[in-house]
Structure 1
Amino acid sequence: MEGKKQLSTKSIILVGMFAAVLAVMSQIAIPMPSGVPMTLQTFAVALAGAVLGWKLGALSALVYLLLGAAGVPVFSGMSGGLGVLLGKTGGFIFGFIFMALLCGLGAAQKNKGIRGICGLAGLAVCHVLGVLQFMVLTQVSFVESAVLVSVPFLLKGIVSVALAFVIGEILRKALNAANILTYAKKA
């Protein structure tokens, strides 16, 4: 089919590797009273976007979500299945796709202010989706849900996005130098 760009083998491998990084970072978790654990997932998602760009970063988050939906224990606490996606933490997991996409768009920006705004927007979308699903399932107000499952995680999320952009730039340069990541502009 002409006009359709297919993923290269390198891209497929990188998407799979970052889905695996997200799965590993999901297991580094601190249980919280709300039932939404504190993990390193936001760092992994932002890093995927920062290194792979918006398309492949979002694809890696989607692959992670689909693996978990199929029952592979990639979610926090070695869990998997549709029950997790439809449970109290599912909104955050769906939000990972948008977060990776926005972090990838941000990483492509030369202006650090715009980069930061894109990263924070990705984090915000992830949190809003998480709070909304938690709110619906627990039948508490949006504000109460936000206080329970978003506010305690915001500082960690902001630091995670900032670190992901810094580390992502270093990784992107190294992958470009090794001719592994050919889509990104050499900085």
Structure 2
Amino acid sequence: MQTLVLATNNAGKLQELLALFPDKDVRPQSDFFSEQAEETGLSFIENALLKARFAAQKTGLPAIADDSGIEVSALNGEPGIYSARYAGVDASDTQNLYKLLEAMHEVPDDQRQASYYCAMVCVRHANDPTPLIGLGRWQGELLRQPKGDGGFGYDPIFYLPDYGCSAAEIDAQLKNQISHRAQALQALVAQLA
């Protein structure tokens, strides 16, 4: 099988996505180049497509990219596509998480619904006119304090009522089966088949 480039420099995403492709020749973009695509899109799909096209252009190989984030109902979908830079361009996961907790400080427990959203795109080449797109949404609620030390991003405050724990406390193998990223990948793989 031809090599696929995984268009991300995010260590957490890279670890999750490589675990989801155990039998494929998938290589991170850092094996080829260090630049980042500019995320100038206004949606998760647009940003994923920008990243996939950028990686395909830089390598000449098919590329997969995702754009994901957390949407909070009480905040009209924020931070959304700005999840990774919610507290500023160079903000850490911890800074982003605490900014969200601050924004939600006065929101009652019964209004703390949130969902992780993921758009995953596969392009055969940089100018692919028919990219494949898989979408995933993972429903949860926001905790008032972080719990757990697994995962990354907002996982410590993303509570999963069906499992009674945060996304940072859930088993990594289970997360790779039920998360927004896993759902988007499953939708993408179904199209590739």
Same fold at TM > 0.5: no
TM-score (norm. length: structure 1): 0.28
Report the structure, 1 or 2, having the larger helix content.
1
TM-score, normalization: structure 2?
0.27
